[in-house]
Amino acid sequence: MATRQKLEALVDEAKFRVRDLRKSGAAKEDVLAAMAELDIRKQKLHEELEKHKDTSFNREGFEDLMKRRFFYAPAFEIYGGTAGLYDYGPTGCAIMNNIQQEWRRHFVLEDNLLEISCPAMTPYRVLESSGHAKRFADIMVKDMQTGDCHRADHLLEDAMAAKMNDDDVTEEQKAEYARVQTMADTYTKDELKSLFEKYGIKAPITGNELSDPMDFNMMFKTEIGPTGENPGFLRPELAQGIVVAFKRLYDFNGNRLPFGGCQIGTAYRNEISPRSGLLRVREFPLAEIEYFVDPKYKDHPKFKTVADLELPLYSADDQEHGRVLTTSRLGDAVANGTIANETLAYFLARIYLFLTKIGADPKKIRFRQHLRNEMAHYACDCWDAELQTSYGWIESAACADRSCYDLEQHAKATNQELVAAERLSTPIIRDRVIADANKGLCGRQFKKDAKLLFAHLANLSNEEAEDLEAKLKEGNATLEVEGKSLEVTPEMIVIKRRQEKIHERKFVPSVIEPTFGLGRIIYAILEHSYACREGDEQRQWLSVSPLVAPVKCSLLPLSNKPDFDPLLEELCTMMTEEGITFLKDASGTSIGRRYARTDEIGIPFGVTVDFDSLQDRTVTLRDRNSMTQVRMPMDAVPRTVARLSRAQATWDDVVAEHGLCQTGSQ
Buried b / exposed e over 626-659, threshold 16 CB at 10 Å, is eebbbbbebeebbebbbebbeeebebeebeeebe
310-314 β-sheet, strand order: 114-115, 259-268, 283-293, 510-517, 392-401, 381-389, 365-369, 310-314, 326-329
Answer whether 66's CB lies under 8 Å from 72's CB: yes
Nearest CA among 136, 232, 182 for reference residue 37 = 182
Are 654 and 559 members of one domain?
yes
In terms of residues, how long is the chain? 666
Residue 537: pLDDT band by 50, 70, 90 thresholds? confident
Alpha-carbon distance of 497 to 499, in angstroms, equals 7
DSSP 324: P
In DSSP terms, 437 is beta-bridged to 493
Query: CA 177, CA 195: separation in Å to the nearest integer?
Result: 11
Distance CA 540, CA 558 (A): 22
CA angle 439, 443, 445 (to 5 degrees): 120
> Confidence band (pLDDT; 50, 70, 90) for 22?
confident
Q: Is the pLDDT of residue 378 over 90?
A: no
Q: Is residue 25 part of a domain?
A: yes
DSSP 227: S
- Kindly state the average pLDDT of the residues 603-613: 95
152 with 211, same domain? yes
**Residues 630, 658 contacting (CB under 8 angstroms):** yes
Which pLDDT score, from 0 to 100, does residue 165 have? 85
Task: Assess if residue 490 is contained within a domain.
Answer: yes
More confident residue, 398 or 433: 398
Looking at the predicted structure, is the pLDDT value of residue 31 above 80? no
Helices (H), 382-461: 405-414, 439-446, 450-458
Residue 76 has a pLDDT of 95
Q: Is residue 21 part of a domain?
A: yes
Is 400 inside a domain boundary?
A: no
**What is the C-alpha to C-alpha distance for residues 10 and 5, in angstroms, rounded to an integer?**
9
Looking at the fold, whether 555 and 499 belong to one and the same domain comes out as no
How many angstroms separate the CA atoms of 392 and 386, rounded? 9
Q: Are 269 and 282 in contact (CB under 8 A)?
A: yes
Domain encompassing residue 20? 1-53
- 121 pLDDT higher than 60: yes
Three-class SS of residue 486?
strand
328 DSSP assignment: E
The secondary structure of residue 104, as a DSSP letter, is: I
Is 33 a member of any domain? yes
Q: Return the CATH number at 437.
A: 3.30.720.200
* Cβ 530 vs Cβ 542: under 8 Å: yes
- Cα 47–Cα 49–Cα 50 angle in degrees, nearest 5: 65
Q: Residue 12 in contact with residue 322, Cβ under 8 Å?
A: yes
First to last CA, the chain: 35
Domain identity same for 43 and 144: no
Q: Letter for the amino acid at 611?
A: F
Percent of the chain with pLDDT over 70: 97
Alpha helices in 428-504 (DSSP H): 439-446, 450-458, 462-474
Asked if residues 15 and 38 have their Cβ atoms less than 8 Å apart, the reply is yes
Q: How far apart are CA 401 and CA 379, in angstroms?
A: 6
* Strand order through the sheet with 137-142: 149-151, 137-142, 214-217
Cα–Cα distance measured from residue 192 to residue 166, given in angstroms and rounded to the nearest whole number: 22
CA–CA separation, 40 vs 526, rounded Å? 36
Residue 636 belongs to a domain with what CATH number? 3.40.50.800
DSSP category for residue 11:
H
Last residue of a domain, one of 503, 535, 559: 503
Looking at the predicted structure, is the pLDDT value of residue 635 above 90?
A: yes
Angle at 486 between CA 483 and CA 490, to 5 degrees: 150
Among 355-359, 458-462, 655-659, which is the least confidently predicted range?
458-462
Q: For residue 645, which amino acid is it?
A: S
**By CB neighbour count within 10 A (0-12 exposed, 13-18 middle, 19+ buried), where does 341 fall?**
buried
For the chain, the domain total comes to: 4
**Stated pTM of the model:** 0.82
Residues 657 and 555 in one domain: yes
Q: Is position 264 within any domain?
A: no
What's the rounded Cα separation, in Å, for the pair 612 and 618?
7
Confidence check: pLDDT of 437 > 90: no
Provide the β-strand partners of residue 260: 291
- 589 and 653 assigned to the same domain: yes
pLDDT single digits (tens) 44-96: 776 666 655 555 788 999 999 999 999 999 999 999 989 999 999 999 999 99
Same domain, 556 and 655: yes
Residue 646 lies in a domain: yes
HSE, CB side, 13 Å, CA atoms: give it for residue 582: 28
CA distances from 58 to 524, 527, 528, 537, 538 (A): 14, 10, 12, 10, 11
Give the CATH number for residue 175: 3.30.40.230
pLDDT in tens, 171-230: 888 888 888 887 887 788 889 999 999 999 999 888 899 999 988 888 899 999 988 889
The answer as to whether 253 is a domain residue is no
**Half-sphere exposure (CA, 13 Å, Cβ side) for 249?**
27
Helix (H) or strand (E) holding 198: helix 189-198
